[in-house]
Amino acid sequence: MNSWKSWKHKNIILFAISVLFAFMLTGSEVFNHFLLNLGDWGYIGAFFAGLLFVLSFTAATGIVIIFILAESLSPLEIGIIAGLGAMVGDLIIFRFVKDGLTKEIDVLYQRFGGNHFKHVLHSKYFRWTLPVIGAFIIASPLPDELGASLMGISKMKTYKFIILSFMLNAIGIFIVVTASLLLKRG
C-alpha cells in the first residue's frame, strides 16, 4: 500500500479537501454559534479571531469577533494577540505553499503548458515584487491567502516571514480596530 508521502499531488488533494470541509462547516449552525461566542473568551478569542482573520471563508467572522472584543480589550492588546493568531494562520499557508504546492502546480503546468511558469518565477523583477505585493496584501484587511502564497513562492526564509507577518497583521488589525472605535464614537 502506498503511503501518503508517495502520493503525487497530495498538496492539491489536501487543499481541495480543506475547501470542501470549510464549506461544510460554514453551513453548520453549531459551528457558527461557537465562532460567534469566541468574543467572550478574551485573549484566547482574540488569538482565534486573528487565525480566522486571514482566511477568505472565515475573515468576516474573525472581524466580527475582533469588533466584539474591542468593547472589552484595548486596540493594542487585540492587535498584538490577534496579530499572533493571524501570523500562525499565515505561517500555515506559507509553509503549505513553500513545502510543495508550487512544485505540484509547476509539474502540472509543465505537463499542460510548458515551462513559462518557471521562467516567470525566476526572473529578477518578479522575485523581488512577490514579497512586496504579498506584504501589502497581508497588511490590508483583505484575506491573506494570496499574500502568504506569494511570499511562499518567493523563496523567503521562514523566520523573516514570521516576523513580517506578525508585524503587518498586528498593525493592520490595530488600525482596523482603532478606526472602528473612532467611527463608533463619532
- Residue-wise pLDDT tens digits, 97-150: 777 655 655 665 566 555 555 555 566 666 678 788 888 888 887 778 888 887
Considering the chain, what percentage of its residues have pLDDT values greater than 70? 71
CA atoms within 13 A on the CB side of 170: 15
- The CA distance from 11 to 79, in Å, is 32
- The CA distance from 181 to 179, in Å, is 5
Higher pLDDT, 4 or 33: 33
The chain-wide mean pLDDT, for the chain, equals 79
**C-alpha distances in angstroms, 147 versus 18, 75, 87, 132, 185?**
19, 24, 12, 9, 32
Q: Cell triple for residue 89?
A: 494562520
For the cut 70, the answer to whether the pLDDT of residue 46 exceeds it is yes
pLDDT for res 168: 92
